[in-house]
Structure 1
């Protein structure tokens, strides 16, 4: 199944000041999430960002906040975004069948959010190179579980090129520097 811009929403989960430094490959995760947010904006894909218990874990890191544009940043206490009434309402209001997920921690908030979205009948894509945990073992276990649940594991470039759909467009030319 292709990831289509007109059917997708991007969800960036808990990329916060006190979480990011503890993750595996934080620079890669931030760089790819930035690329996803820029691509979403260019292709008309709405985005939602979350912050888990921001009083304790801090705000979204500035590198992500800078490119989030008009995307709302929603605080939450539940590990699954879909268990949080504010997020669930905001996501449902987007009226999108596909959810593209990136963020932290893969084996906690990302996996629980993905499972909640699958339970509601959404097509879920987790971006492996824009998702992280504190240990590689947790990341691998998360990806195995997601695949077993019918979630599709993808990469940043897969998402960008599927949102674009073809070369030669104004959007393709605008995003080309991000993928070179």
Structure 2
């Protein structure tokens, strides 16, 4: 199935000041998440961002600040177990969740699993998702793939949201992909 902008919501999980430096390939993860945020803004995809225990792990890294994004604190590992997040997610009335985040094997996998249980189409952006160890990232991707989650890349999401070349959105986003 295609990832369609009108059906999608972008969920950015726990990309926080004290968490990002401990991850595998943090620069790649942040760069690709910035591209996803730019694309979401360009094609009208709503964005929800979470912060796991912000008092201890800090705020979302400044590189990912986006006007209009809803940033929600949480304590549960699965975003869907947090009443504030779950209410806002459902309020958006979208059937597809595109997820980027940290840590892949904890909060990303539990959130994706909860969304699948509720009947949503879920896509995890592998090059915008990270854990502290490569083994944890690989286990997360294997588990999600086996459970029906679409494993995608940043470029896959951007080009599926765009749908065609030659549009003003395409021309604006193309330099971020090249």
Q: Shorter-chain TM-score category?
A: over 0.9
Q: CA deviation at 1:43?
A: 0.4
1:154-175: CA deviation from partner (whole Å, max 9, x where unpaired)? 0000000000000011110111
1:25 counterpart residue number: 25
Structure 1 residue runs of 5 or longer lacking an equivalent are: none
Residue number in structure 2 paired with 1:35: 35
The correspondence of residues 58-77 of structure 1 with structure 2, limited to 5 A, is: 58-65=58-65, 68-77=66-75
Find runs of 4+ consecutive structure 1 residues off by over 4 angstroms. Answer: none
Two-structure CA RMSD over aligned residues (Å): 0.4
TM-score under structure 2 length normalisation: 0.99
- List runs of 5+ in structure 2 lacking aligned partners: none
1:96 and 2:100 aligned: no
Aligned mates of 1:41, 1:120 — CA distance in 2:
26
Match of 2:122 in 1: 124
Q: For the residues of structure 2 that align with 1:124 and 1:42, how far apart are their CA atoms? A: 21
Structure 2: distance between partners of 1:139 and 1:179: 23
DSSP 3-state at the match of 1:115: helix
Aligned length: 178
Deviation at 1:149, TM superposition (A): 0.6
1: CA distance, partners of 2:10 / 2:42: 13
